Amino acid sequence: RPQAMRWIVGSWLAVLTLVGAPPPVAAEEQEQLICTAVARVWRGSPEEIADIHTDPVPQSFRAPFESTGCGRFHLVVRSLLDWHFAFGDEQTTSAALAYFSSRWDQEPLAPERYAADLDKAWREAQPRYAEADRLAQANDWQAANELFYKDRKIQALERQIGLGSTRATLMHYYLRGADAYRSPALLAKAEALWPVVEARNAFFDRHAETIATLQRNKPHDPRLELVDAESLLLPYSLANARYRIHDVEFDRDTLRKAVLGDWLAGAEQVDDFVWMEIEEESIDETYLTDLAAAIEREPNFMRLPTKLWREDVLYDFARASKSPGDRCKAGNFDEAMILLEREERQGRDLAEPLGYWGGYFPEHERDTRLELLLAKAGCDLSHARQARETGEPETENDHLEAALSTLDSARQLVQPDEAPSRFRSVAASYLETAARCRKLAATSVDGRPFINCHFAISPRLEAYFRTSLAALDTIATAATAPQ
């Protein structure tokens, strides 16, 4: 493909990878819109943090997001959601999600109508794509670009694809909120979007081979490149959230196979790779042939197993917590933690000096490790409550001790200045668990099992948590501490 064509396509793909699916752009706006820059993660100022409940979507975010120029393409949209997880709560996060919905979900879509409109736009765009490809093959890339970026038939198809893609992004955001707060209300919002997203995914599945060919000329959707593994795993994520929030059972193994398709063989070899002391570039020198083939086909393939294992681990801990007597174990938990830490480290190495590379944001991998540790601690605390209700103090002791150890590991991944809301949940859970442990130990009498979980309590860590919790609002808003 000519160099000029690769440069334009690469610029758009980098923007889509870093920013996510933006709202559809009218054809007349797209004619002159070619943006190249490192995407910017929006952080929010201390003053905006202080006002997060009254102004959950500050103007400093709205301005670039609502821009019709290049500003919105330089903005990492999901950073608003990350900001609320770090500094807000379910109320503020719901308000931010409602803002996204008001911008992306303005046009009502019926799944059947949407699928028909997609197919119609697809049929009408094919001759224009064929002509653009012919021009590109003849090295007339200026004329090819004119078609790729200005033709009304191509723009009509991309608009239809954009309508579904923004719903997929919004659905993923709602699922993240539902997971973070165990919120039935946010889960219901995600479920309402699924029929349209499912119709969109079915469209891509029907035309996968042809779209893959066109993708070499102009990117239609990041899902096809697997840089957005969340979209591929959305059916699993939705079923998993329903299970954890509403206890709705599903066949996990069957759904995993259906979702992964021919990526499954490669994904199943990642657990062996994790324990090898080699770099990803050396996989083709091992027996991991399926994994090597997957990475050759998709350079960002390793993002898929990290997202897959997150779902697997959350499911396993949820199932274990609902089954009295089961140990709080999850398949691939250790492997997931190792791989996430490796990717976080790699992301930080590549982050200098121009920003994160290829869609990797190190704090996201760290947040996922924290999420998995809290799921593990939650499982042990659930068993401890069950043991207390059934009068089994020794079992309660064991689970409280395990929870304290896990929470100690979790607090090393979150600092009060970086994510006070997450820090608060870890600190409060540790203090509550320590108090329960001391109460249990104090009631131990002769003839009852020996209770020793209080030896796992760190008084210095308790003091750190209490002191930090008392000053958390001051830290979060960078206010001057009282003299």
- Supply 243's token pair: 């299970």
Cβ(182)–Cβ(244) below 8 Å: yes
pLDDT of residue 229: 73
- Supply 259's token pair: 């979702």
Q: Tell me, what DSSP letter sits at residue 357?
A: S
pLDDT of residue 351: 45
- Supply 96's token pair: 């931010």
pLDDT of residue 75: 83
pLDDT of residue 30: 43
- Supply 61's token pair: 């975010």
Q: How far apart are CA 441 and CA 399, in angstroms?
A: 14
DSSP tally for the chain: helices H, then strands E = 24, 2
Helix spans in 299-419 (H)? 303-321, 333-350, 362-389, 393-411
Cβ(209)–Cβ(2) below 8 Å: no
Contacts of 270 (CB under 8 A, 6+ apart): 291, 302, 305, 335, 339
- Supply 248's token pair: 């709705």
pLDDT of residue 264: 93
* Predicted TM-score of the model (pTM): 0.86
Backbone dihedral region for residue 250 (phi beyond 0: left; psi -120 to 50: alpha; all else: beta)? beta
- The CB-based long-range contact list for 292-300 (8 Å cut-off, 24+ gap) reads 293/266, 294/263, 294/265, 294/266, 294/267, 295/266, 298/225, 298/226, 300/225, 300/226, 300/227, 300/358, 300/359
pLDDT of residue 74: 74
Residue 353, preceding peptide bond in cis (omega within 30° of 0): yes
- The CB-based long-range contact list for 330-333 (8 Å cut-off, 24+ gap) reads 330/372, 330/375, 330/376, 332/271, 333/372, 333/376
Cβ(100)–Cβ(170) below 8 Å: yes
Bridge partners, 41 (sequence order) = 76
> Which segments within 165-294 are labelled E, that is strand?
none
pLDDT tens for the chain, 483 residues long, are 333 322 223 333 333 333 444 444 444 444 445 565 556 789 899 999 999 999 999 999 999 999 877 666 678 888 999 999 999 999 999 999 999 999 988 778 888 899 999 899 989 988 888 888 888 888 887 888 888 778 899 889 888 888 888 899 999 999 999 999 999 999 999 999 999 999 988 888 787 766 666 655 554 444 444 446 778 899 999 999 999 999 999 999 999 999 998 899 999 999 999 999 888 889 988 999 999 999 888 877 888 899 999 999 999 999 999 887 778 999 999 999 999 998 888 765 544 433 333 444 567 889 999 999 999 999 999 999 999 999 999 999 999 999 999 999 999 999 999 999 999 999 999 999 999 999 998 887 666 667 888 889 999 999 999 999 999 999 999 975 454
Contacts of 155 (CB under 8 A, 6+ apart): 27, 30
Q: For 288-301, b where at least 16 C-beta lie within 10 A, e where not — what string?
A: bebbbbbbeebebb
